[in-house]
Structure 1
Amino acid sequence: MIWERIQALFSGEDEVEAVFKEGWKELLVENLPLYSILPDELKVRLHDRIAKFIRSTRFEACNGLELTEGMILTVAAQACMLILNREGEPYPELNTVYLYPTTFSSVQKRQNAYGIVTEGEVHRLGESWSHGTVVLAWDSVEQGARNIHDARNVTFHEFAHQLDHEDGQTDGAPGLGSRAAYQSWARVFSANYEDFREQLEQGKRTLIDPYGATEPAEFFAVVTETFFEKPKQLSEKRPDLYGELEKFYGVDPKEWF
């Protein structure tokens, strides 16, 4: 399998830069323009994160998709953009990434106010499961990677959910390390979430995708997309929210553009 061959390259004692092929760097330049604008030291850091990610995360192709090096590296690079300055294993609870060629279907359960549960088939671009799985549609991954100015990136979105769940709940508050950090996050996040929903109710256009109004967990995932792809606009319109995301992710993307 292609994933196993790449994984084997990173399993030895050699330095990551020694085995990270020039062709892979060229592939990232082509598939992920955000890679091209990273400072050189962060590119080296990203290579290391990608290596660790591929060592620990299995890739599986579904519905006839033929997995390629480009697919694996494009997904891994975007997932690792979110953890560039994070120590330790990337996404320690993650086991498998499933790639579909295009939009896939899943069964969704809904419970109404009377407690009645209904099931229906929904079409998805991506899913993040709490038990170590991310599912992605490759065509959406590819499109989101290549357009770095629209704040629409399904890979960022689903891996933000993975980070959100690491403290045991997918609730819009990822693991932050201290009580003071949680208090600051809760204050800023709640205020911005409520203001964002009010703007939508008033029919105003918003920088952040309206899907973020679904629930706090989706707001966190959507503002993550905005943070990495429209950082200047987000820092101008919601500076306190941008500041919390900058502290959490440990990077300042507006310096890259």
Structure 2
Amino acid sequence: MAYIIITILLLFIIYKILKKEKKQPKIVNIVEIPAHWYPLLEENVLFYKKLNTKDRLHFKKRIQSFLNSVEIVAVDFELEDLDILLVASSAVIPVFGFNNWMYPNLKEVIIYPDYFNDNLEFASKSKNKIIGGLVGNGMFENKMILSRRALHHGFANKTDKGNTGIHEFVHLLDKLDGTIDGIPKALLDNENLVQWLDVVHDKMEAINKDKSDIRNYGGTSKEEFFAVASEYFFERPMLLKRKHPELYKMLDDCFNID
């Protein structure tokens, strides 16, 4: 009889322990933004610098959210605070107009120290190192590769209408419908998509006839045009609005930000 009572008591104690453990919240590692990062944002990210106080706070929260969902890995160099901030800023800027939205198709950003080639080689002796970034497929699905040099140049040069980081994250937005094709189905309704394709055709034709200030790479394909034009939109918005008002309006509709 005593044995039965002891057994029941032990089972009751185990039940209580298991029930208590079940109620315990899972411990999650949260990336906190240190205060010394804020001057780095002010100094290096023009988009952030132009925001009002309320939007700056929102931008910081969006950076924190991104860093808690995506891993950033450096290859052959030690990752610095500015590297992390520039990657996160590149991610936040194109989706800043979408409240708290982030990238479901990205898990990891891999940073190489320099430009790389088609074989992902970046050593000094490697040939044809002209790639600044790419969105992965196959074994690199849900991953992005960025050149550190290209990433920093995109934010350091504030007048060239280019930004490699933004370019690659726009490709990710383009890929939301399953393919990178320069047709932002996830961002525009069907009626506007028809108008978008007309604008793209005209602008690419002007690029390829050397009659446009939009970067030549935008004339190679619709997907590259979308990414290149988006760089222009975020880097030199007023210039784009003056020189290409229809394109500016379409991109403003895409990104929901003025």
**What is the TM-score with the length of structure 2 in the denominator?**
0.79
Q: Secondary structure at the match of 1:20?
A: coil
Aligned runs of 1:129-148 on 2, under 5 Å? 129-130=136-137, 131-148=141-158
Task: Quote how far apart the aligned CAs of 1:121 are.
Answer: 6.5
Aligned runs of 1:170-185 on 2, under 5 Å? 170-176=180-186, 181-185=189-193
Q: Secondary structure at the match of 2:225?
A: helix
Task: Quote how far apart the aligned CAs of 1:175 are.
Answer: 3.8
More strand by share: 1
Number of the residue aligned with 2:256? 250
Q: Counterpart amino acid of 1:226?
A: Y
Q: Secondary structure at the match of 1:106?
A: coil
Number of the residue aligned with 1:99? 111
Number of the residue aligned with 2:40? 27
Task: Quote how far apart the aligned CAs of 1:144 are.
Answer: 0.7
Among 137, 141, 149, the alignment partner of 2:159 is 149
Aligned runs of 1:209-220 on 2, under 5 Å? 209-220=215-226
Q: Secondary structure at the match of 1:174?
A: coil
Kept after mapping to 2: 8 A contact 1:211/1:222: yes
Among 224, 236, 239, the alignment partner of 1:230 is 236
Q: Counterpart amino acid of 2:173?
A: L
Q: Counterpart amino acid of 1:73?
A: L
Task: Quote how far apart the aligned CAs of 1:106 are.
Answer: 2.3
Task: Quote how far apart the aligned CAs of 1:143 are.
Answer: 1.2
Structure 1's 8 and 24: CA in aligned 2 closer, same or farther, altered over 3 A? farther
Q: Which moved more, 1:139-148 or 1:91-100?
A: 139-148
Kept after mapping to 2: 8 A contact 1:107/1:122: no
Q: Unaligned 5+ residue runs, structure 2? A: 1-27, 121-126
Structure 1's 177 and 35: CA in aligned 2 closer, same or farther, altered over 3 A? closer
Among 155, 159, 162, the alignment partner of 2:172 is 162
Kept after mapping to 2: 8 A contact 1:207/1:234: no
Deviations 1:189-214 (A, max 9, x none): 2222222233234332x221110111
Among 131, 134, 154, the alignment partner of 1:127 is 134
Number of the residue aligned with 2:87? 75
Identity %: 30
Q: Does residue 208 of the first structure (1) align with residue 218 of the second (2)? A: no
Q: Counterpart amino acid of 2:34?
A: K
Kept after mapping to 2: 8 A contact 1:42/1:84: no
The CA distance in 2 between the partners of 1:125 and 1:156, in whole Å, is 12
Kept after mapping to 1: 8 A contact 2:218/2:226: yes
Task: Quote how far apart the aligned CAs of 1:138 are.
Answer: 0.7
Number of the residue aligned with 2:123? none
Q: Which moved more, 1:149-158 or 1:124-133?
A: 124-133
Task: Quote how far apart the aligned CAs of 1:127 are.
Answer: 0.7
Task: Quote how far apart the aligned CAs of 1:88 are.
Answer: 4.7
Kept after mapping to 2: 8 A contact 1:34/1:148: no
Deviations 1:66-106 (A, max 9, x none): 11222111110121011113235511110110001111222
Q: Unaligned 5+ residue runs, structure 1? A: 1-6, 11-18, 109-119, 253-257
Q: Counterpart amino acid of 1:24?
A: W
Deviations 1:100-147 (A, max 9, x none): 111122239xxxxxxxxxxx9663111112421111111111111122
- Give me the CA root mean square deviation: 2.2
The CA distance in 1 between the partners of 2:203 and 2:240, in whole Å, is 12
Structure 1's 52 and 243: CA in aligned 2 closer, same or farther, altered over 3 A? same
The CA distance in 2 between the partners of 1:42 and 1:175, in whole Å, is 27
The CA distance in 1 between the partners of 2:209 and 2:86, in whole Å, is 38
Number of the residue aligned with 1:194? 201
The CA distance in 2 between the partners of 1:78 and 1:47, in whole Å, is 13
Q: Counterpart amino acid of 1:48?
A: K
The CA distance in 1 between the partners of 2:200 and 2:253, in whole Å, is 18
